[in-house]
A and B are shown apart, each in its own frame.
Chain A
Amino acid sequence: MSGTVKEAPGQAETPFLELHKKFLQDTPPPGAVRGLAEAALERFSVLGFPHRKHEMYTFVGTQDLVGQAFELSGEGATPEQEFLRAQVVPGCENSVLVLVDGHYRADLSDTSALAGSIGVVPFAEALSDSGLQNYFKDAIDEENDVFAALNAAFMADGVAITLKEKAAPEAPLQVLCVSTGSTGGPVLNQPRVLIQVQPLAELKLITSFCGERPNYFVNAVMDILVQEGGQVSAAQVQRDPFEAWHFCKTRVTLAGDSRFFTVGASYGSRLVRHHYDARLKAPGAELSLNAVSVLGGQEQVHQFVRIHHEAPHCTSHQLFKNIVDGKSRVSVDGTVIVCTGAQLTYSDQLINNLMLSDDAHADNKPNLMIFADDVKCTHGATVGQVSPDQMFYLKTRGLSEKTAKELLTKSFAASVIDTVRFPAVAAELKKSLLKKLEA
């Protein structure tokens, strides 16, 4: 991958280097973090912003984004209470962690329902742990995504969550990332979340990204480390206004017999990119990644997925469903890497696209790299329109063209939404995400 990397920082990177100087001056991070942040900035400079042929950004045009003159989001903004309350998933009123413009806000968070099960500290504080320091040092050294490196360069703030051994709280934890946006020029905020699940603990997790006002770039990184026998069931909802850029890298590390299930739902914006990097480190690890995007107008959502099967007897499932209307664009670039020795791997991947207009665009690149000889791996992609046979069937039962089409497009997305393990989230998605399909 390094073959496509630029050799020296160019014009596009310079404003971000200037921002970083300002960041170090205004909010100097504590010692250990500062070292990492500087290493990350170095990595950012080496990687450079992607050009058109960059493998990781084949389908994602970032020229417009990196050409913006961003300011850093300030620290003190507090969203309107009413807005904030509306973003809290019913049932998470006492188990919600709030980040505003990338800054962890203890004053707006409430985790009383999880008392005794979880520990929550500011990110910089968690980095006093030398094991974590090494983890992040390695992550920065190996980082191949320039935007994740950019986030790491600004990593002082954020939140670190630990679910204690064998804890299995009933209430889901909601990590709510609010961008307050800007009424002037575009602003940049970079949330960072670390989640550690200790052995045999089970976490129910909802991550929600939303914006109070438009005109921002939210560039998030989330590290999820699941130890032996631990489990995470997650729903990840992206719901920014159109005039926003949303990048998020989710890095998942799975120990033996641990599990990570997630369902992503994207409303789209002018540019959304999800990067999943998952490593199944020891036998028995299992990962399931489902995602649904419903797009219209000029909205874009891009998924970049790398799943590394590093040990035998691991399982991964992926299902993507995209509905594109208007001039929207979607892409899924997903590779499953079965490393040498990862025998008896089971992996499947399916990408389904429903095209509702002639001008919508879907790029798919399902890919397998297998270095073991006793594995079962499948992958595939479909692109289609609403089935005329299904339309005819529904119409012969008296449903109008409009109703029939709506029913069929909604059902296409519903099959992923139905895999969301939180009824309140699924209900909201059915209400609002699928509402985008109503004419």
Chain B
Amino acid sequence: MLEIKDLHAGFDGAEILKGISLSVNAGEVHAIMGPNGSGKSTLAKVLAGHPSYQATAGEVLYQGRNLLEMDTEKRALEGVFLGFQYPVEIPGVNNAEFLRMAYNARRVHAGEEELDPLDFDEILDEKMAGLGMEAKYKNRSLNDGFSGGEKKKNEILQMAILEPKIAVLDETDSGLDIDALRIVAGGVNKLRGPGNALILITHYQRLLEYIQPDFVHVLSRGKIIKSGEKGLALELEAMGYDWLTTTNA
């Protein structure tokens, strides 16, 4: 589904990703771990098409097509989703209305008819109940004044509504208490299926107790320095990133 080949990318002329290769197939969950500043969030932003980040070499194929040549919104419409580490607050934009716009943009792109507010509301209520979100969040401004936990839930709500083929969740666990983490992880697990894939970016092994990955990759200084199965995350938790960065240095 997603094929990253020797990707070099950076920000403002500085190279942050220094040759990343990763292959993600439908139905798989990949965890990307690594210390601060290793390039995890940069990878997420490059995949989603952030205008400030430029790929300088390598390629990314999504369903056989060149992802890097697509506009940000095109990627989204084609099924790429980025769960933000810091969801952006947008005062004045009604949450439910925004969700419906995003949902309908996807439908129109797929050649389907737009859903009217009433029909959409049913879907929204159901998805929100699944995430334990109170109905009041529908009529508030998008992420405006939401607590850290509610913002992350709102990200997963968007994912549930947009039903992406591949979702990149950037530190979705940060800032969550244990109950919220369980709910968010439960929401993500419900969305797992044979037809879609997930890339989880995280610092900690904690999230991976709730969302079991098929593969774990360790990113350090812009490169994947080790890949393995889920046991690797436990090893990392026990021994720290130094264990890998020093042995591989």
Partner-B contacts on A (CB < 8 A): 387-390, 392-401, 403-404, 407-408, 410-415, 418
Contact = CB atoms under 8 A, between A and B. Distances in A.
Contacts of B92: 410-415, 418
B51 A398 contact: no
Nearest to B73: A395
B75 to A, nearest CB: 8
Interface stretch (B35-43, B83-91, B219-227): B83-91
A408 B105 CA distance: 17
B73 A393 contact: no
Contacts of A388: 51-52
Interface in B48-107: 48-52, 71-73, 75-77, 81-82, 84, 87-88, 90-93, 98, 101-102, 105-106
B101 A393 contact: no
A181 B105 CA distance: 45
Nearest to B107: A398
B144 to A, nearest CB: 10
B73 A401 contact: yes
A419 B93 CA distance: 15
Nearest to A401: B73
Given A394-B90, A396-B49, 9 more contacts: A392-B48, A393-B88, A394-B98, A396-B76, A397-B98, A397-B158, A400-B105, A403-B101, A403-B105
A410 B87 CA distance: 20
A333 B54 CA distance: 43
A396 B48 contact: yes
A395 B76 contact: yes
B98 A398 contact: no
28 contacts: A387-B88, A388-B51, A390-B90, A392-B72, A393-B87, A394-B90, A395-B71, A396-B48, A396-B75, A396-B76, A396-B82, A397-B98, A397-B102, A398-B73, A398-B109, A398-B162, A399-B73, A399-B101, A400-B73, A403-B101, A407-B98, A410-B92, A411-B90, A411-B91, A411-B92, A411-B141, A413-B92, A418-B92
A192 B21 CA distance: 74
Contacts of A410: 92
Going nearest first, the 4 A-B pairs with the smallest beta carbon separation are: A411-B92, A398-B76, A393-B88, A395-B72
B102 A399 contact: yes
Given A396-B48, A398-B109, A408 B82 contact: no
Given A407-B93, A411-B93, A392 B77 contact: no
Contact of A389 (B81, B88, B109): B88
Nearest to B91: A415
A398 B77 contact: yes
A393 B84 contact: yes
Contacts of B88: 387, 389-390, 392-393
B132 to A, nearest CB: 22
A396 B73 CA distance: 6
A412 B90 CA distance: 9
A304 to B, nearest CB: 27
B50 A392 contact: yes
Nearest to B50: A392
- Determine which residue in B51, B93, B158 has the highest number of CB atoms from chain A within 10 A of its CB, and name it: B93
Contacts of A395: 49, 71-73, 76
Nearest to A388: B51
B102 A408 contact: no
Interface centre among B48, B50, B92, B158, by most A CB within 10 Å?
B92
A394 B97 CA distance: 13
